[in-house]
Amino acid sequence: MNGQKDYILLKEIINEVDPIGLVDPDTPESVKEYDPELKEILKEDISLISKEQLGQRVYEVFVKFFNEELVGTRDKYDLIADHFFARREHAGSQGNI
C-alpha cells in the first residue's frame, strides 16, 4: 500500500473511531480535525511496522498533540491499528493496493 492510500485509510478509520470526539456529523469540515495528527503519524512509513507498533505510534502522536488525560487509554488507538490492518489486508486480498 502506498503513502496516499495509507493516509486515506487511516484518516477514514480515525474519523470513525473519533478518539477525542472532534468529528461532528453535522459539520462536514470536521473530518479535517485530525489531519495534523495524521501527517505526524505518517512521517514514519507505517507499511513497515506491526499492528502493535502502529497502535503505539498513534497513541504517542495523540498524546503529543493533546494530553494523556484527554487521550485516555491505549484501547482506542489499538482499535484504530486493528481496523487499519484488517482493512489493508482485505484491500490486498481484493487486489486494491
What single-letter DSSP state applies at residue 30?
G
pTM listed for this prediction: 0.88
Q: How many structural domains are present in the chain?
A: 1
Q: Which of 61, 55, 60 is nearest to 75 (CA)?
A: 55
Q: Residue 69 maps to which CATH number?
A: 1.10.340
List pLDDT tens digits, range 4-44: 899 999 999 999 999 999 999 899 899 999 999 999 999 98
> Which pLDDT band, with edges at 50, 70 and 90, does 84 fall under?
very high
Using the predicted structure, report yes or no on whether residue 63 has a pLDDT greater than 50: yes
Query: Which domain, by its residues, includes 67?
Result: 3-93
